Amino acid sequence: MSRFDTQASLPRAEAEQIVARSVDAGQLERRLAERLAAQFCDPIVREVVLEGAAESKRRGKGDIVSVSRNVFIPLTNLCRNRCAYCTFAKLPDSPEAKTYTLREVEEAVRVAVPMGCREALLCLGDKPEIAYHSYREWLAHNELRDTTDYLVRACRIAFEGGILPHTNAGILSEREMAELRPWNASMGLMLESTSARLRGKNMAHYYSPDKDPDLRIRMHEQAGQLRIPFTSGILLGIGESAVERIDTLLAIRDLDDRYGHIQEVIVQPFHPKADTPMAASDLLADEEVAAWVAIARLILGPEMNVQAPPNLAPSALELLLRSGLNDWGGISPVTVDFINPEAPWPELETLRKRTEAAGQRLVERLPVYPPYLLDRPDFFEPRVREAALAQADPSGFARTRATGTGVEAA
Ligand code: SF4
């Protein structure tokens, strides 16, 4: 039982006062966030929080909701961790184990460019060379020092092929991030949760040393020191409490306060999958997901880019559009969501129509957000910024066809 379960109810007027003050202040503090979240079982409190978050988003982002047209390249699905909810990672002897060749990376880029993709999402398992002899042999056979060495080559292929790389390769050292920075427009690591409890026996991260919250916070700090536009996020529903969710969001806010490098925060619900130790876990209700997107907006403030993946709540897009998000994340016209393969992407045109029906406007973005691209040249290798600017309109979003619908790539 969470400590929230014992708190007294929250009258609507008090909830409205807390939310209104937080919207005006530009952030929601821990004690008040806990007070609101403790009453998320009350639809009136949830509605008040959603309304406040929508107002905060309107003040910071206007009517814009962005989306990135990407190609997802899972360079390898080998991983040294075994998160209890994951179906992405495979063992080397699995028929589904897959490490891309550089020729396959080239081919993926070649297919994605004419489809208007702007982002090559290089998402892969954590340091498989630590766990698997066969993978170490494969690296040696290909004269590669480690996975980072391989990633640098793959990013370079994507970049030179006309797509801006965004790497999410799990825990990387400062040196490894420095090696990748010259070929990446941005990089990322979901903080997921600050809860060290989740590393305990029978918990989601028991067999996952790279999910140590301190390690993940340290990588966020190093990315900030290296001035890398950085994507973080929270994973909902893997055994954490409401207090721990708030702590995670506050940790991300603190990192951005210190380094100014958190370009977006993903609020991602966990989807239970068959054949995993967490197959029987509850799926979060869409109302709960939307309430947490809204709390994220209120905690992180009007300027932060708050993202919720539309394929993980396909019947609740209108609800999410009222929750303060301003980004749908990456949508691929050429590849599936390899992390949640059971959840197909919506068509961009469908997403545009539903976003517009909610009184907002869908715009296509690059894998880096306009304020970094336009105002912070120190966050980029010059050639990467130059390539990104060449694909951007004057507002820093992706350039569109003059006759297009607003989501058509140039
Ligand atoms: S670190 Fe990522 S890829 Fe590896 S097991 Fe965990 S969720 Fe799966």
Does 362 or 333 have the greater pLDDT score?
A: 362
Can you tell me which atom of ligand 1 is nearest the CA of 124? Answer: 3
The Å distance, Cα 372 to ligand 1 centre, comes to: 29
Could you tell which of 83, 87, 98, 216 is best to mutate to test the pocket of ligand 1, judged by most ligand atoms within 8 Å of the CB?
83
- Distance of alpha carbon 23 from its chain centroid, rounded? 24
Name the nearest CA neighbour of 348 among 80, 187, 165, 117.
117
pLDDT of residue 8: 67
Q: Which pLDDT tens digit goes with each residue over 312-323? A: 888 899 999 999
pLDDT of residue 112: 96
**Separation of alpha carbons 143 and 405, rounded Å:** 46
Dist. CA 88 → ligand 1 center (Å): 7
Least confident of 90-99, 102-111, 206-215, 399-408: 399-408
Q: Are 317 and 310 in contact (CB under 8 A)?
A: yes
The conformation of residue 87, written as its DSSP 8-state character, comes to S
Measure Cα distances from 265 to 83, 252, 274, 296 in Å. Answer: 21, 8, 28, 8
- Cβ within 8 Å of residue 299, ≥6 positions away: 27, 28, 33, 246, 249, 250, 253
List pLDDT tens digits, range 212-235.
Answer: 999 999 999 999 999 999 999 999
Q: How far is ligand 1, taken at its centre, from the CA of residue 339, in Å?
A: 9
In-domain check, residue 31:
no
In a domain, 157, yes or no: yes
Q: Is there a domain that residue 283 lies in?
A: yes
E strand or H helix that includes residue 387: helix 382-390
State the pLDDT at residue 12: 95
Domain count, the chain: 1
Mean pLDDT of 167-192: 98
Q: What is the mean pLDDT of residues 54-67?
A: 98
Q: How does DSSP assign 111-134, residue by residue?
A: HHGGGT--EEEEE--S-HHHH-HH
pLDDT attached to residue 346 = 87
- Tell whether 296 is covered by a domain: yes
Q: Does residue 359 form part of some domain?
A: yes
Asked whether the predicted pLDDT for residue 408 surpasses 90, the reply is no
| 203 CA → ligand 1 middle, Å | 14
Mean pLDDT value of segment 103-118:
96
Q: Is the pTM of this model over 0.75?
A: yes
For residue range 250-279, list pLDDT tens digits in order.
Answer: 999 999 999 999 999 999 999 899 989 999
User: In this structure, are residues 349 and 67 in contact, taking their beta carbons and an 8 Å threshold?
Assistant: no
119 CA → ligand 1 middle, Å: 22
pLDDT of 401 higher than 80: no
- The first and second tokens of residue 286, run together, are 């869409």
Q: What is the CATH number of the domain that holds 330?
A: 3.20.20.70
pLDDT value of residue 407: 44
**pLDDT given at position 172:** 98
Question: Residue 405 — pLDDT band, cuts 50, 70, 90?
Answer: very low
pLDDT, tens digit, 9 for 90 and up, residues 323-350: 999 999 999 988 888 888 888 888 899 9
Nearest atom in ligand 1 to 80's CA:
4
Residue 24: its pLDDT value, please? Answer: 98
CA distances from 207 to 7, 86, 87, 193, 338 (A): 34, 12, 14, 15, 21
**Mean pLDDT estimate for the chain:** 94
Mean pLDDT of 52-79: 97
Contact call for residues 72 and 332 (beta carbons, < 8 A): yes
Indicate the range of 24-38, 296-310, 391-405 predicted with least confidence.
391-405
Pocket test for ligand 1, best of 80, 81, 192 (most atoms within 8 A of CB): 81
Give me the pLDDT at residue 342, please: 82
Note the pLDDT of residue 344. 84
Question: How many CB atoms within 10 Å of residue 107?
Answer: 12
Is 9 a member of any domain? no
Enumerate the β-bridge partners of residue 73.
122
| Ligand 1: centre distance to CA 84 (Å) | 9
| Cα-based torsion angle of the residue sequence 216, 221, 224, 229 in order, rounded to the nearest 10 degrees | 10
Q: Could you tell me the residue range of the domain that residue 127 belongs to?
A: 56-390
Query: Of 72, 88, 124, which is best to mutate to test ligand 1, by the most ligand atoms within 8 angstroms of its C-beta?
Result: 88
Could you tell me if residue 105 is inside a domain?
yes
User: In percent, how much of the chain has pLDDT > 70?
Assistant: 96
Between 64-78, 138-152, 307-321, 328-342, the lowest mean confidence (pLDDT) is in 328-342
Please give the full DSSP string across 245-272, using - where no structure is assigned: HHHHHHHHHHHHHHHS-EEEEEEEE---
DSSP tag of 146: S
Q: Is residue 3 domain-resident?
A: no
Q: Is the pLDDT of residue 94 over 60?
A: yes
